[in-house]
Structure 1
Amino acid sequence: MTTPHPVPYAVPYAVVPYAPGAGPAAWPEELRRIAGPEVLERWGAADRAPHAPRLVAVPGDGGWAAAALVTARPGTAYAKIVDAVGDVPAAARAVVAYAEEQRLVQVVWEGWTVSGEDAAAAGFAPLRPQLPGGTDEPAGPRTGYVRWTAGEGVAEPAYYRQSTHFSCGAVTALLAQVRAGVVRPESLDREAELTLWRDATNFPACEPVGLGVAVRRRWPSSSVEVFLDTEEPVLLDHLDGDEREWRAVLQRASRADADRLGVPVHGLRLSLAELREAVEAPGRCRHVLLLVSLATMQGFDVPHWVLCHGAVPGAVVVEDPWFNTAAGETWVDAHLLPVADASLDAMSLLGGEVRVRGAVLVDGG
């Protein structure tokens, strides 16, 4: 394992639970003394409880010298600084020390109040701005920053948020091709998203074989393989009767299309080791579009596509084209997201009594 990047110098800190529903009057006096009202208003504007909000505080003379609100999705290997207040460099050092102590591989920082200069001085690199999307949801901060605490990180792709609740498969495929240089970033928009979704959908979801077929049709020069360890229709557990049957017919048609187009459909479960090997292959631009359940990261058991594009010690790095603004998430949570190996292994097994894994391996060349 690569040695974590050292903290410039040690700084004492304390971790204090954050009560998201209590309101500013119930927050520690030490915090209200160093945090402006606009910062506290932003902190309290969302129910951050699902993301274990906590304050990392640096003691000073007569109170706190600095503090940062820190959150993270469950099952992941990162910590996010929403804001740092007071002595900002000291707060950043404290959060990095906390992350290393927790064996997290990454710290990200939302750019609400921090300057690029302060972020750089704390060892954080700027993130690429998210691509414009086709949604009216709040966009979050215009900037964000990242510091890897283990390994050297991975090459950063562009980030685009899906504009519907059902087009995640199409967006992950498009993001893979943008990163491979097959698609220009500026051409990734809502029309491209929905056009590819229309070609791949099983109404409304995209199942693995149909998604793989749509990718091959759109980009014939890209190598595409599907891994699905069942021959039965998938993503239909919530349906019965005719609603289930006609979608099953479409999935059988997708398998026939895959055979005609030469898209291999392996009736095997892609292992986590094989997934890591694919995205870490030197000199290749290989991506895995992976079906996961959002039960761990978001609290609801809904199938969802993410793009796996890199790996660091102990975690696979993904792009999640959706984030939950109601829980205080922004694109900074969903971009360059390290998911712990064991968590990704568990959340990518879907279904009822028989659990299956669906994945599409795309090699852009």
Structure 2
Amino acid sequence: MPPRHEPSERPTGPVRPVESLVVPYEPDAPPPGLVPLAGDEVSERWRAVDRSAHAPRLVAVPGDDREGWAAAALVTARPKTAYLKIVDAVGDVRAAVDAVVALAARRGLAQVKWEGWTARAEDVAATGFTGLRTPLTPSEGAAGPAAGYVRWLRGGVTTTPVYYGQTTHFTCGAVTALVARAHAGALEWEELDRQAELTLWRDATNFPACEPVGLGVAVHRARPSSPVRVHLDADRPVLLDHLSENDREWRALLQRASRKDAERAGVPVDPSRLSLSAVRASIGRGEHVLLLLSLAGMQGFDVPHWVLCHSVVPGAIVIDDPWSNATTGDTWVDAHLLPVSDASLDTMSVLSPQDFRGAVTIGRPHERDATPHP
């Protein structure tokens, strides 16, 4: 397994200015300049899914004759985030990648990612990118490329978790908790598997979702060496409004039981809303924050979902999202080390219609219980 600590992932040099143009990508009507550059394999991959939700653009570098294109890259990104992703670069690959990096820098974004479908190691190194860790597993139904790369434009991340995609539609809370535990050194990465995922989910679930108090209690039980605090500014059961009256009733009973479990176990439930500045401060102390948010902003549907907040860079909080949406071309490369601006994350993590924020903060484990780093 890869080590838990990595060298600082920071840009290896200044952003090079590159003359380029940016045009929308229309899969059924590719620009004439693209046709000589993109082969059948690349063209088929670009057209295989509907990427329109992620604002697909072609970043093109004009040729010397000013007529055709010397290079181009297909670029997408989840909405409300602070990065760009290169799906493929064709033609003069390094010029295309440099053009994307320059575009991201002009937009004040935190990073550029590059899916490894066709990327060559020498081009990756020459353009200042570093490798992302190979995922333990992609999220259910979203295979993605075997490799991915990142270049940070503002700050960087010095220690990174390995990406683990949830293997069901409902175990996001359990996965974020387990990844946090492994990232803290309290669990070997090879122990993070489907059995561990489902075991923790079973202890935390409100059937099938994990609500904040139940998740916090389950994390405490699984990780008693670390202080756990629940943050929930709602005084009644949550995440139940979409259910029938009967289903709401028994799930509410379970949530009230979780409150009693938290009291008996000494897990504090803070009734004030956790601020984004407090999230940053918690991460700065070496803690992890499991944050409940709506996928409406990033994916277009209002479904509650747990993510792990583990790092900060100027202007953004870096999360790992255990789910990616294969139907939009979203892969583990998008979901891993994903920078989201504080303002966007603030909006995403206030859930309606109850207007609440739910989170679980996990402190650093006691040294005697932490797994030594290799």
Structure 2 CA distance for aligned equivalents of residues 14 and 75 of structure 1 = 23
1:77 counterpart letter in structure 2:
A
Matching residue of 1:169? 173
Cα pair 1:154 1:312 within 8 Å, conserved:
no
Structure 1 CA distance for aligned equivalents of residues 139 and 315 of structure 2 = 34
Cα pair 2:139 2:332 within 8 Å, conserved:
no
Matching residue of 2:290? 289
Cα pair 1:134 1:190 within 8 Å, conserved:
no
Classify the secondary structure of the residue corresponding to 2:35: helix
Structure 2 CA distance for aligned equivalents of residues 30 and 133 of structure 1 = 34
TM-score w.r.t. length of structure 1 = 0.94
Cα pair 2:294 2:349 within 8 Å, conserved:
yes
Residues 133 and 64 (structure 1), Cα distance of their counterparts in 2 relative to 1, 3 Å cut: closer
Counterpart pick for 1:88 among 93, 104, 112:
93
Counterpart pick for 2:227 among 215, 223, 226:
223
Cα pair 1:224 1:264 within 8 Å, conserved:
yes
1:53 aligns with 2:56: yes
Cα pair 1:16 1:56 within 8 Å, conserved:
yes
Structure 2 CA distance for aligned equivalents of residues 72 and 138 of structure 1 = 16
Residues 8 and 235 (structure 1), Cα distance of their counterparts in 2 relative to 1, 3 Å cut: closer
1:11 aligns with 2:15: no
Cα pair 2:292 2:307 within 8 Å, conserved:
yes
The Cα shift of 1:67 comes to 0.4
Residues 134 and 37 (structure 1), Cα distance of their counterparts in 2 relative to 1, 3 Å cut: closer
Matching residue of 1:99? 104
Structure 2 CA distance for aligned equivalents of residues 152 and 293 of structure 1 = 26
Stretches of 4+ aligned residues off by more than 6 angstroms: none
1:53 counterpart letter in structure 2:
P
Matching residue of 1:265? 269
Structure 1: runs of 5 or more not aligned: none
Residues 105 and 133 (structure 1), Cα distance of their counterparts in 2 relative to 1, 3 Å cut: closer
TM-score w.r.t. length of structure 2 = 0.92
Cα pair 1:133 1:189 within 8 Å, conserved:
no
1:335 aligns with 2:336: yes
Structure 2 CA distance for aligned equivalents of residues 116 and 267 of structure 1 = 50
Residues 5 and 102 (structure 1), Cα distance of their counterparts in 2 relative to 1, 3 Å cut: farther
1:120 aligns with 2:121: no
Matching residue of 2:316? 315
Structure 2: runs of 5 or more not aligned: 1-9, 366-374
Residues 232 and 8 (structure 1), Cα distance of their counterparts in 2 relative to 1, 3 Å cut: closer
Classify the secondary structure of the residue corresponding to 1:32: coil
Cα pair 2:289 2:310 within 8 Å, conserved:
yes
Trace 1:194-273 onto structure 2 (pairs within 5 A): 194-273=198-277
Structure 2 CA distance for aligned equivalents of residues 338 and 59 of structure 1 = 30
Structure 1 CA distance for aligned equivalents of residues 196 and 161 of structure 2 = 18
Cα pair 2:139 2:324 within 8 Å, conserved:
no
Cα pair 1:7 1:93 within 8 Å, conserved:
no
Structure 2 CA distance for aligned equivalents of residues 68 and 348 of structure 1 = 32
Cα pair 1:78 1:105 within 8 Å, conserved:
yes
| Cα deviation code 1:39-62 (max 9, x no counterpart) | 010000010000000000000133
Classify the secondary structure of the residue corresponding to 2:310: strand
1:34 aligns with 2:41: no
Cα RMSD (Å) of the superposition?
Answer: 1.5
Trace 1:153-192 onto structure 2 (pairs within 5 A): 153-192=157-196
Q: Percent identity?
A: 63
Cα pair 2:139 2:164 within 8 Å, conserved:
no
1:94 counterpart letter in structure 2:
A
1:280 aligns with 2:284: yes
The Cα shift of 1:152 comes to 2.8
